[in-house]
Structure 1
Amino acid sequence: MMHVSRVSVTWDLEADGHLSLMFSTLDVEIRPGSGLGLFELGSSLWTVLDMLRQMQHLFPQVDIKYDPDASSTTPVILHLRPHLDLLFSGRGQRLRTICVRKLRDPNPPVILRYKETVLSSPDEILRRVGITRTLGPTYPGDDLRYPGIWFSFEEDGIGDGRSGSAHHEDRMQEVRRVFISQKEIDAEQEDVLGEVAECQVMNGDISLAIVKIHEGVTLHFYPSTTTTVHIRLSITTAQDLMVLLGPPIRVHHKEDDRMTIHSSSQPYDETDSGYFYNYFQHGIDFFISGKTHVVKKIILQSNVPGSPLFQIYKRCNWEIEGKPEDDEDGGEVFFH
């Protein structure tokens, strides 16, 4: 049985002077297969939480829900009270599904638009007839499903279908929830715990970091056609990092020697204090020699919910490339 842990993040509204805007209308455009308002499918958990921090006036409280027994590999849900649930995939921590709920809750009011049409507002109830009039006919069923979006008449949870079937022909049936997901995923057979297909919002992010012990790391980026980047221990310089990855968000000078436990057999130079290049947006730290200015250590971050470093770094998906135990094992072996 999966246990769910929930962390509530309440922004300090009074300190930021945004308390008077707490109940502003949530006016968003639906983009089937792409997103809702400012939320783009495929965005990282780190990026979305950082954006929400800048929107405290509209989302004063965020609930972060995850499984504490497998927080590194299972999906994460952000609940933005009272209207939005954002589901992020377990491995990539990418926004996979957006759910809009409680359309009649006035705190704050919500307006849903599709292109130039208002689907739902405080004065306009979203009904089955309005959807088919705007989006056209679709296959019969308890829910109305279109590529990249579907409308449910159940208040919460997935019903057994009996209540929906009873009112299948009711044109005035009220929509309770709206789901937006990628068009590439078949809505009838999708795995809600699966990963997100590659899309434009991911461009420039690291898709995978392949670690070679004692050698370095190979970084693969989105889109998949992008040239890989090789960071080699004791060879790649700080200047190389600036060229390959751009300037770090922060440069941090080492203040203690706790990292020396990971040193190689080579003698430790106490006079070489060194410094870190922190790439929070990639989930990577590089420790650089203060004398030679070459990379000495590489630290990959996983952004695990519930951990002390959660939301400081974007998740960096990594694998360790190892040597086969014998000739029968064939090529390289990968561990995640």
Structure 2
Amino acid sequence: MRLFYYHSKHGNFGDDLNGWLWERLAPGRWDDRSDTLFSGIGTIIGNPQPPASRTVVFSSGFGYSKIPADWGSDRWKVAAVRGPLTAKVLGLPADAAVADGALLLSTLQELKPIPEPKRGNVIFIPHHTALDFAGWEEACDLSGVDMVDPRGDSHQVIGRIREAKLVIADSMHAAIIADTLRVPWIPVASSNQISTFKWLDWSMSLQVPYEPQRLPIPSARGAFDSWAQKVSRSVNYLEPPTPEFATAHQNKALSFTDDATARKLAWRKRYLHKMPARAMKHSIFTKYSSASDARRVNKTAEALSKHAARKGYLSDESVLKARVDELLSRFNNVINGAFK
């Protein structure tokens, strides 16, 4: 099979672990020349795919794209999806929902949980798009929380999660991997980019609540960008974060996926995102934003300090084990040809 997953131009550890996890679990079974795609970890159902006669979906999620035009045809073989919201929107039976494939990291001997007394600092892992804007490192330095760049090497990022005593997770895969490695986690949202739908999709699969808190954005440029998402109808963060609201919002978003509307919204988004970058080159904006950003960084640092003192979430051990066992069973079925 040929691996299919999202490749961020700057790197993103949650996506990048596809590049080595599946080879570890099934050595020698992957071939870039294969006519069968293996759709793995990530919110990638509906993303543009390379030509292939068959796509095996294994733990992928839905949430950013259109439903594929040929969805439900013989080309699609669904072994498992990430959670119940993906299954519902795609019209799949409830038992198609298992969990995110990153849970299978727990089967690797080198990633066995570290006893709590031997774990180290509180870490914060932002969503990779948050780092398009300044201020996060400064806020972490002030708060005493270690920032881990999600664009770094996936092995190293996962190692930092495993060694932490608490993970403040803006990145969903920071929470997924923390929970898998038995490290408590706290969900936060750095902007309107953070997808309530996909967080609920995963958290419901492990029967843990999703109760995020907004983080103050530590730069005027980042705050503007979050506002621009509202105007361009690209908001993913929802309040209240309920499955019903998230599903209704996702279904509404699908109604805007006709070509004309999509082009209009894409143009609006590009224009709004470029405009402040040009305006803030002028000295008057630079002077204003410098003073504003200093205040914003302090507010973000205060919020991170408060989160660092909280008790984190952790799924029930028996629920996690059941999901890992089911994922492993279905993965072996895929490898052994049950979904050819």
* TM-score (ref. length: structure 2): 0.22
Name the structure with the higher helix share: 2
Name the structure with the higher strand share: 1
Larger Rg: 1
* TM-score (ref. length: structure 1): 0.22
Bigger relative contact order, structure 1 or 2 (CA pairs below 8 A, ≥6 apart)? 2
